Structure 1
Amino acid sequence: MSTNLADKVGGTVYERGDDGFAAAAAGFNLALQPSPDVVVAAGSVADVVEAVRFARAAGLRVSVQSTGHGLEKPIDSGLLLTTARLDHVRVDPETRTVAVGAGVRWTAVVEAAAAYGLAPVTGSSPVVGAVGYLLGGGVGPLARSHGFSSDYAIGFTVVTGTGEVVEADEHRNPDLFWALRGGKFGLGVVTEMRLRLVELTSVYGGSFFVDSPDIERMLRAWVDWTDGADDRVTTSVQAAAYPPLLEVPEPMRGRRLLSVRFAFPGDPVEGERLVAPLRAAAPVYLDMLGELPATQLGRIHNDPTDPIPAYLHGTMVDRVDQGFATVFLSALTGDSPFFAGELRHLGAATARDVPGGSAVGGRESEYAAALVCAQPELFDTVAPAAAAHWDSVAAPWISEVNNANVVTQPITPERVAACWPDDIRERLGQVRRRYDPDGVTLGWWSP
């Protein structure tokens, strides 16, 4: 089927059964084993053009991945376009901007910018693909002080659903530019994005942990503390039961702990003062707070760096109180399939849209919640049932509008539609129809 395509691209084309097919298609979540009709490992923008045109002519949907972190639904047909080879990073220290290829992970951007005392506003994990993450908005360890990562986008190069290469910024195709900052899918294939960088060399941050007997006390203290927290400080908490495995650090092995993550992009003395009430709320089991170079922001969350099987369920949350804390704790105890649960404090800069607006969903929410199951045998029935139960008991606090990066599993038409308020969702539909009239690049997001 793909012989003609293979003759036209400089990258590699795989069909089911070919050597290298499974490796080329693999994503970060080992619970999902993509099996599309065709995989194209693009080596250039021209390859992307040919792949999209081929898919359109053949009536195939195009899914796109660089690292595969964003994959939340099986790919069992269509064309999977992998962009890992589009890995250029070009920093302009004069304009404090960076051009990032579609296959780049945040680590490469961070390291390139650091040479000039600059930094990108990234997510919590430095090994996530930069483009895919930013297209959904993106909230990281500096969310309250700096906002959504997509707020720093200044331009994109895009292969549309008709196979045309266009530029999108505030002057060229501004409707597409608006949509790409938060619209996530169905807007073509981004081959490069340009971002503003910020002056940042270090933060006061990291995490500290409390042991099982003090989890509830610390969580409830954090809930109260976030009400009125300094806008310059971004915090989150994660309650997790760590398995008794050798690869788990010994102090955490076999324990149930709650970590408090803290980031303050300012003077360390002021950071210590700001975190002091939290540190004093319960006995600290492990303390990993201190001054961090901007290149080490990933240590704040310490997200997994190796592929794992996981079922994640995410929701934006309007507010939290002690009633919510009770519900959150109950979702992680008893016979719950979720071994970990996270709450991120948002608001402040995330609530302020960029000039001209953007398509990010969830700006009005003050928090984001995520629940994680890591037992594959529970992914089909038990975990979805527990997620539905969470949605029910946490309904008084859960936001009506979710976010495309937060939504995770299960991916249903209703949950996808709720990633944007009505006006943004309607406008996104108009932009998608203009730049991809046949829905070629809806990929696995399509109903």
Structure 2
Amino acid sequence: MTSVLADRIGGTVYERGDDGFAAAAAGFNLAFAHEPDLVAVATSVTDVVEAVRFARTAGLRVVVQSTGHGAETPIESGLLLDTSRLDTVRVDPETRTATIGAGVRWNAVVAAASAYGLTPVTGSSPMVGAVGYLLGGGVGPLARSHGFSSDYATGFTVVTGAGEVVEANAEQNPDLFWALRGGKFGLGVVVEMRVRLVALTSVYGGSFFVDTPHIERMVRFWTDWTDGASDLVTTSIQAAAFPPLPQVPEPLRGKRLLSVRFAYPGDAPEGERLVAPLRGAAPVYLDMLGELPTTQLGTIHNDPPDPMPAYVHGTMLDRADQGLATAFLETVGPDAVDSPFMVGEMRHLGAATRRDVPGGSAVGGRGSDYVAAMVCAQPELFATAAPAAAERWDGLAAPWISDVNNPNVLAQPITTARVDACWPDDIRARLEQVRDRYDPDGLTLGWWQPVSGGGAR
């Protein structure tokens, strides 16, 4: 089987037991050991076409992986299609558009666009694959001022479940274009996309930290402050228990801190005025706010750049008040010393994230004004304490948790019900129609497929 596919594509094909198989199959979340039947490394669009057609004939599902950030369950069968080699970026400064290959990370797009005084609307981590992130919608440090990242997509090149190359944009296959902006999976293999860039070279932003005695005060102040925050300001809070390890920066090592992240796409004086109430709400332990070039937007959240094991539980939230602040503090606050979650965050959304694009899109969670995520990094707790703590958070935060989640937020535990809840009923039904049209056999449902003994469809 390996030799048949290897004769048809320019990239390498691995099967279980081959040297290099484990490295080729590995994802970013080391909690999952992936063991598909085959791994095919695509070096061209033709390779993707041949791999999809081969998988269809062989009766194998196709799981797409570029940077490996996507999978939240073990990949135990099928053909894992590695698109990381499709890594070209082209920027057209006249149309303010970037053409992005399937394997490109956001940092490469940021760097290419910055040469023309432009920037993409990215997520919090510049190391995440651009295509996979955008297919789920995507909210980053400019969410309130600029909206979902998928709102800036202008077109996609897709290999369908039948192995045909099609274009999806406002004029060609508009139903598929609608679905790809937020529909996440089961829509073929995206080999290239076009996104609109914005004229922005710097922001006033960064983060500041408060120490343990002041965490509750800051959480409660931030919660109230967001209610009247400027639509141009995007903020979030993160409670973190930093381990006493040498690789942790000395000011953070062994500390339990709360960071407040702030981004305002404007000048420093106005940014300082807007952040002043937050800065003055509690003593600041470490201040990292200032004018940032857009090439440094990733430093606002400072997401881990290297693979690690993690149990992540995410929920969209309709609103926030002091009751939610109490639930957050009970889960990851200074007194939650026995919590398996070493990190917990809440992000303020709303404003531009509530405004859909002309013609609409498939983004889930557009009606939510906040999002929360809890992270456990101790593998020995992933099967026991972490799921129990996630269930407890869901109970505490139930009055605020949105009925509709988002596929980029979903994470653990993956169940059919939780996958279904990533879209409102009408959008989910329309997505099923589009999936049936472009991938009727569910070939590219990927790692979502084996959910609770059946498909996510």
Partner-residue secondary structure (3-state), 2:400: coil
Give runs of aligned pairs for residues 219-298 of structure 1, distance below 5 A. 219-298=219-298
The worse-fitting range, judged by mean Cα deviation, of 414-423 and 55-64 is 55-64
Return the alpha-carbon distance in structure 2 between the equivalents of residues 23 and 373 of structure 1: 24
Partner of 2:314: 314
Partner-residue secondary structure (3-state), 2:278: helix
Return the alpha-carbon distance in structure 1 between the equivalents of residues 205 and 396 of structure 2: 33
Return the alpha-carbon distance in structure 2 between the equivalents of residues 330 and 438 of structure 1: 45
Residues 334 and 255 (structure 1), Cα distance of their counterparts in 2 relative to 1, 3 Å cut: closer
Return the alpha-carbon distance in structure 1 between the equivalents of residues 118 and 281 of structure 2: 35
- Give the number of equivalent residue pairs: 447
Partner-residue secondary structure (3-state), 1:227: helix
CA drift at 1:335: 2.1
Return the alpha-carbon distance in structure 2 between the equivalents of residues 369 and 253 of structure 1: 24
CA drift at 1:163: 0.4
List per-residue Cα deviations over 1:56-107 (Å, max 9, x = no partner).
Answer: 1111111111111111111011110111100000000000001000000000
Give runs of aligned pairs for residues 48-87 of structure 1, distance below 5 A. 48-87=48-87
Task: Indicate whether 1:364 and 2:367 are aligned.
Answer: yes
Partner of 1:424: 427
List per-residue Cα deviations over 1:318-337 (Å, max 9, x = no partner).
Answer: 01111111111111214211
Partner of 2:32: 32
Return the alpha-carbon distance in structure 2 between the equivalents of residues 337 and 60 of structure 1: 37
Give runs of aligned pairs for residues 34-183 of structure 1, distance below 5 A. 34-183=34-183
Task: Indicate whether 1:354 and 2:396 are aligned.
Answer: no
Partner of 1:209: 209
The worse-fitting range, judged by mean Cα deviation, of 117-126 and 387-396 is 387-396
Task: Indicate whether 1:373 and 2:379 are aligned.
Answer: no
Task: Indicate whether 1:399 and 2:436 are aligned.
Answer: no
Letter in 2 for 1:208: F
Partner-residue secondary structure (3-state), 2:209: strand
Letter in 2 for 1:103: G
List per-residue Cα deviations over 1:228-265 (Å, max 9, x = no partner).
Answer: 10000000000000000000000000000000000000
CA drift at 1:33: 1.3
Return the alpha-carbon distance in structure 1 between the equivalents of residues 406 and 377 of structure 2: 23
Partner-residue secondary structure (3-state), 1:331: helix
Match of 1:439 among 427, 437, 442: 442
List per-residue Cα deviations over 1:370-419 (Å, max 9, x = no partner).
Answer: 00000000111221121112112211000000001001111110000000
Return the alpha-carbon distance in structure 2 between the equivalents of residues 65 and 350 of structure 1: 27
Segments of structure 1 that go 5 or more residues without pairing to the other structure are: none
Partner-residue secondary structure (3-state), 2:193: strand
Partner of 2:455: none
Return the alpha-carbon distance in structure 1 between the equivalents of residues 75 and 383 of structure 2: 16
Return the alpha-carbon distance in structure 2 between the equivalents of residues 270 and 104 of structure 1: 34
Return the alpha-carbon distance in structure 1 between the equivalents of residues 123 and 236 of structure 2: 13
| Identical aligned residues as a percent | 78
CA drift at 1:267: 1.1
Task: Indicate whether 1:414 and 2:409 are aligned.
Answer: no
Letter in 1 for 2:366: R
Partner-residue secondary structure (3-state), 2:214: helix
RMSD (CA atoms): 0.6
Partner-residue secondary structure (3-state), 1:440: coil
Letter in 2 for 1:348: A
CA drift at 1:32: 0.9
CA drift at 1:2: 2.0
Letter in 1 for 2:441: D
Partner-residue secondary structure (3-state), 2:302: coil
Letter in 2 for 1:23: A
| TM-score normalised by the chain length of structure 1 | 0.99
List per-residue Cα deviations over 1:169-205 (Å, max 9, x = no partner).
Answer: 0000000000000000000000000000000000000
List per-residue Cα deviations over 1:94-136 (Å, max 9, x = no partner).
Answer: 0000100000000000000000000000000000000000000
List per-residue Cα deviations over 1:314-356 (Å, max 9, x = no partner).
Answer: 0000011111111111112142110110000000000000000
| TM-score normalised by the chain length of structure 2 | 0.97
Letter in 1 for 2:342: F
Partner of 1:5: 5
Partner-residue secondary structure (3-state), 2:290: strand
Return the alpha-carbon distance in structure 2 between the equivalents of residues 330 and 389 of structure 1: 10
Return the alpha-carbon distance in structure 1 between the equivalents of residues 338 and 289 of structure 2: 33
Return the alpha-carbon distance in structure 2 between the equivalents of residues 382 and 161 of structure 1: 39
Return the alpha-carbon distance in structure 1 between the equivalents of residues 420 and 383 of structure 2: 22
Return the alpha-carbon distance in structure 1 between the equivalents of residues 68 and 384 of structure 2: 24
Return the alpha-carbon distance in structure 2 between the equivalents of residues 228 and 69 of structure 1: 34
Letter in 1 for 2:264: F
Segments of structure 2 that go 5 or more residues without pairing to the other structure are: 452-457
Return the alpha-carbon distance in structure 2 between the equivalents of residues 140 and 293 of structure 1: 16
